[in-house]
Amino acid sequence: MFPFTLTEEQRRVMMQQKYAEAEPWAREALSVQQLVSPGHPLVASTGATLGFALIGLEQYDEAEAILRKALDLAISTVGERRTGQLDDGEQHLIEAYEMVVEAAGETNPVAEYAAVELAALYDARGATDPDGGWQAKAAEWRAKKGTDPVTGGR
């Protein structure tokens, strides 16, 4: 099998939390994707899958590094797409945040990083749509990180 994408079986294994089984598949797919098309959104998705498998295996340092790269790539590719696709990217970031919080807690650096990046996404959307409620969403995500610079509190 050409390991460019994860198969449905591999996704199922990940959903069953069989992280030791999922980790080599995700690592191989990510390796090929990075060689073939390093800036493709699929690389971010596969990187996130690998990162979550590593969290499940309690390999937090490597998971954090991979998830940060995946999140950065996801944000950069989302920024290049239409608004409808921004909604998809937003949902993926929220899901990633929730998975990290469930696996490693709200104060985990990856969770905090995701919250900061979601706040930045909402700030950017608010710059082009000031009446869309984006500033409130940005403040909500900044509060998940720690202190909200707008209100001075959590």
Q: What is the CATH number of domain 8-145?
A: 1.25.40
* Tens digits of residue pLDDT in 45-80: 888 889 989 998 999 899 989 988 888 888 777 655
Residue of 10, 7, 29, 6 lying closest to 18 (CA atoms): 10
Give the amino acid at 126.
G
* Tens digits of residue pLDDT in 11-50: 778 778 899 998 998 898 888 888 888 888 788 888 888 9
Radius of gyration (C-alpha) of the chain in whole angstroms: 16
3-state secondary structure of 150: coil
**CB count, 10 Å around CB of 50?**
27
* Tens digits of residue pLDDT in 88-110: 667 777 887 888 888 788 887 77
Q: What is the pLDDT of residue 2?
A: 38
Q: Measured between alpha carbons, how far is 113 from 146 in angstroms, rounded to an integer? A: 11
Its sign, for the CA torsion 138, 141, 142, 148, is positive
Sorted by where each begins, the domain ranges of the chain are 8-145
